[in-house]
């Protein structure tokens, strides 16, 4: 049997489980690369050996990668691909593991992707104003008369 390339594998996964857009799988693959690169920068000992990324480490890398790539639109883009919570990333990762795109250790579990952060905290709050409007401050919209 001929080895399938990544896009062919994603196509098979999406036929079995259509919850996520194929772009979600590509994003997760690139996000893993980003997470590995960042972890190696921070930990020189890890840079010298084969690097395994835990679920929480991958989620942190995916969060940073999404904010870097999409800024305030990150939550909109992810939601558009069907990703609405950390557990969705876990489902994507474990689908890629089933097709031998990603590997896992005996300690890795889907539950590693549960409740690490809320999408509101990760992708909305970083773009909210730091200070609330003072009491009595006008609530006008730009271009509207006050």
pLDDT, residue 30, reads 97
> Strand, helix or coil at 127?
helix
Q: What is the pLDDT of residues 105-143, one digit of tens each?
A: 999 999 999 989 999 999 999 999 887 777 777 765 555
138 assigned to some structural domain: no
144 assigned to some structural domain: no
120 assigned to some structural domain: yes
Q: What is the pLDDT of residues 77-113, one digit of tens each?
A: 999 999 999 999 999 999 999 999 999 999 999 999 9
**CB-based contacts of 104: which residues, under 8 Å, 6+ apart?**
97
**Containing domain of residue 74, as a range?**
6-127
Determine contact, residues 26/101, Cβ cutoff 8 Å.
no
- Structural domains of the chain, count: 1
d(CA 3, CA 121): 40
Residue-by-residue DSSP string for 104-122: --TT--GGGGSSS--HIII
**Angle at Cα 13 formed by Cα 74 and Cα 35, nearest 5°?**
40
143 assigned to some structural domain: no
Is the pTM value of this prediction over 0.85? no
pLDDT, residue 146, reads 47
pLDDT, residue 136, reads 73
Write the CA distances from 72 to 28, 32, 79, 121, 133, integer angstroms.
18, 21, 13, 12, 21
146 assigned to some structural domain: no
46 assigned to some structural domain: yes
pLDDT, residue 31, reads 97
91 assigned to some structural domain: yes
137 assigned to some structural domain: no
Report the percentage of the chain scoring pLDDT > 90.
72
């Amino acid at each position: 049997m001929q080895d399938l390339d990544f896009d062919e594998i994603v196509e098979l996964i999406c036929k079995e489980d259509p919850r996520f857009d194929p772009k979600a799988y590509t994003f997760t693959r690139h996000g893993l690369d980003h997470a590995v690169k960042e972890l190696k920068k921070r930990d020189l000992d890890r840079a010298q050996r084969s690097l395994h990324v835990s679920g929480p480490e991958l989620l942190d890398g995916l969060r940073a990668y999404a904010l870097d790539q999409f800024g305030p639109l990150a939550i909109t883009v992810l939601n558009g691909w069907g990703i609405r919570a950390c557990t969705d990333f876990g489902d994507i990762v474990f689908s890629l593991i089933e097709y031998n795109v990603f590997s896992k250790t005996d300690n890795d579990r889907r539950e590693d992707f549960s409740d690490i952060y809320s999408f509101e905290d990760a992708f909305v709050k970083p773009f909210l104003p730091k200070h609330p409007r003072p009491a009595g401050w006008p609530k006008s919209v730009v271009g509207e008369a006050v």
